[in-house]
Chain A
Amino acid sequence: MKRLLTLLATLACVAITTEPASAYLKLGTRVGSGTVNLRWEDFPVRYFITNTAGGGVSATQLRQAVDRAFANWTAVETASISAEFAGFTQARPNDDDGLTVIGFVNLPDQDRTLGATSFLVDTVSGEIVEAEIYLNSFFSWSVASAGEANRFDVESIALHEIGHLFGLGHSALGETELRSGGRRVLAAEAVMFPVAFSAGSTAGRTLRADDIAGISEIYPSSVYRRERGSISGRITKSSQGVLGAHVVAFNLRTGKLVGGFSLNEDGSFVIAGLEPGAHALRVEPLDDGDVESFFDLTLNIDVNFRAKFHDRVVVVPRGGGTGDVQIRVQPK
C-alpha cells in the first residue's frame, strides 16, 4: 500500500485556486418543481423521548444513549449546532404532531428497518415542522458500553438517525460482503453509511471525517470556513458529464476519507470539509445497492462506468478550494 501511495505522490500535480467550497449530500425533498433543503434554522433543536421501553431498553436508558449521540454531533467544532432534551412524552415518534420525538415503535412488518427518521415539512415556508426518529422494537436493543451479543446498539443507530435529523443524507463510504444469511458490513468510514453493523457491534458510535465534513458543510462555524478546504471538478465519460458518481478523497497524511458525489448533469462535483493537504481521488459508480437511498429518483444516475483513480494528487489549501479536477472514466 505504501508503494502505491508513494506512486500516487510522485504523480502529484498541484492546482490551487481560492474558489469557495460548496455541496455535500444533504437531505432535501421535492416540492413541485423545486427542492426544499431539510435544514434547521433555529437552535437548539428540542427533542422529546417517548416514555416507552422497547427491545429490552427502558425509556431512561434510551434517553441517555440519545443524549450521548446528540452530544457527539454537537461537539463537532467545525459545525454550529445544538440540541436540548425537552422531556419525556406519551407521543409516539411516528405521529405528525408538531413535536420532535425519538422513541421505540414496534413495527414487525418492517423487519428489515432498524430505525428511520422522518420530517414534516411546510412546503410553503420550507420550514421543518418536526422531525421524528423511531427505533424498531421488533429488534433486540442494547445500551451496554461494550455492546451485547445479538442486540443492536442504540447509541450507534441513534447517532446515524440524528445525522439525518440534522439534514445529512447517506454516505457511500462503506464495504459489505455477501455471506450465508445475508449481507453484512465489513467496514464503514461514515456513521451515515446506510447499512447497520451486525448486532453486538458498537463500531458506529464514533463520527468519522466524512460525517464531520458533512455536518460542518450544512452548519459551518467560523473555524470551518477558516480551516477547511475543498476539491471540485468534473467527472466525464465519452465527453459527457456523469451524474451520481461517488468521488472519494483520501488524505495522504491522515488517512481520512471524505466522499462526495457529482450532483449535476455536467458531472461537476465538490468535496467540501477537507483538511488541508494532499489527497488522492477515486471515482466509482453506485452500482452495488439502492441508488434511491442516495438520490432523488427523478435523476438519471449513471452507474455504467468503471472505478478509477485520478492520476494526480490534489492538494487542498486551508480555507480555500482546489478546482478544475477533470477525471475521465470508461464505460464498463
Chain B
Amino acid sequence: MRFLLLILLLLGFVPVLSATVLVPAEFREIVSGSQIIVHGRVSDVRAEWIDGRRRIESVITLEASSFYRGTSAGTVTFRVPGGQIGRYKSVTVGAPEFKAGDEVVLFLKARGPSVPQVFGLNQGVFRVQVDQRTGRRTVSQPIVMARGITPQPVLRGAPDRQPLPLDQFATQIRSVLQGGAR
C-alpha cells in the first residue's frame, strides 16, 4: 500500500478529506440526504447543557437568505456538538464551530421534531469566502462523480479544482435536486 501511495505521491496524485473518522459522502449523497439546504449568515451561537446536563451542544441560528430545499422560514436553527459554558469548553474533534457573522451554505438533516444537525458532522458545511481580487463570493468545490464512469482518484492540487462561485454552486445544487449530473 505504501508503494501505491508513494507512486501516487510522486505522480502528483495525493488528496484528502475531512473530520474524525468519517464515511465520506459524494455530493449527491449530501444533497439527497439533507432535508434542509440553506444559504445564510449565522446570527447567534448558544451553548447549552442537554440530556439532563450530561453534555454540551451548541444551538446555532442562521438568518436565511436562500433556501434550496426544505422550509422557507426566515431563520433556521440547528445544533452541533460542543460549546463553551462558563469556564468549561466541550470540543468534538471534527465538529464544525460557528460564530456570529459566518456566511455558509448548510446541508442539514432534519428528522421529525428534533433540532436539525449538519449532514455528516461537517460534510454539510460549505463556508462562503470572498475572493479578495474579484470580490466574488465562493465556496470550496464539492467532490462530484460524473455519472456512469469508472472509479476516479480525487486529485489534490488539480488545476481545475477552483473555488466555485456561489451562484454556480446554487445551480449545481438545483441540478442535483432535479436529478442532473452537474
Contact = CB atoms under 8 A, between A and B. Distances in A.
A34 interface: no
Interface centre among B22, B119, B140 (most CB of A within 10 A): B22
Given A118-B81, A187-B8, A293-B94, A194 B19 contact: yes
Interface residues of A, number: 81
Contacts of A5: 10
A113 B120 contact: yes
A217 interface: no
Nearest to A125: B87
Chain B interface mostly:
loop
A69 B172 CA distance: 42
A91 B53 CA distance: 13
Given A1-B7, A112-B23, A248-B9, A178 B145 contact: yes
A312 B10 CA distance: 14
Given A1-B6, A307-B156, A110 B121 contact: yes
Interface string A283-308: 01111111111100100000111110
Contacts of B23: 111-114, 182, 195-196
Contacts of A182: 23-26, 29
A213 interface: no
Contacts of B19: 113, 116, 170, 194, 290, 292-293
Contacts of A284: 14, 156-157
A188 interface: yes
Contacts, number: 266
Contact of A183 (B3, B14, B111, B154): B154
A54 interface: no
B125 interface: yes
Interface string A257-301: 100000000000000000000000010111111111110010000
Given A96-B56, A194-B21, A117 B92 contact: yes
A182 to B, nearest CB: 5
A129 interface: yes
Interface string B89-126: 11111111100001000000101001001011111010
Contacts of B54: 92, 94-97
Nearest to B20: A116
Given A119-B90, A293-B19, A177 B111 contact: no
Interface stretch (A45-53, A77-85, A157-165): A157-165
Contacts of B94: 113, 116, 170, 194, 293
Given A290-B18, A293-B18, A123 B156 contact: no
B46 interface: no
A189 B91 contact: no
B153 interface: yes
A59 interface: no
Given A117-B92, A288-B143, A291-B140, 8 more contacts: A109-B109, A116-B94, A122-B88, A157-B21, A193-B16, A194-B20, A246-B16, A307-B156
Interface of A: 1, 4-5, 27, 29-31, 38, 92, 94-97, 109-124, 129, 157, 160-161, 164, 169-170, 172-180, 182-184, 186-189, 193-196, 203, 246, 248, 250, 255, 257, 282, 284-294, 297, 303-307, 332
Interface of B: 1-10, 12-26, 29, 51, 54-56, 81-82, 84, 87-97, 102, 109, 111, 114, 117, 119-123, 125, 127, 140-141, 143, 145, 150-159, 161-163
Considering the complex of A and B, which 8 residue pairs feature the smallest CB-CB distances, nearest first? A307-B157, A290-B18, A112-B120, A289-B17, A179-B151, A288-B15, A293-B18, A178-B145
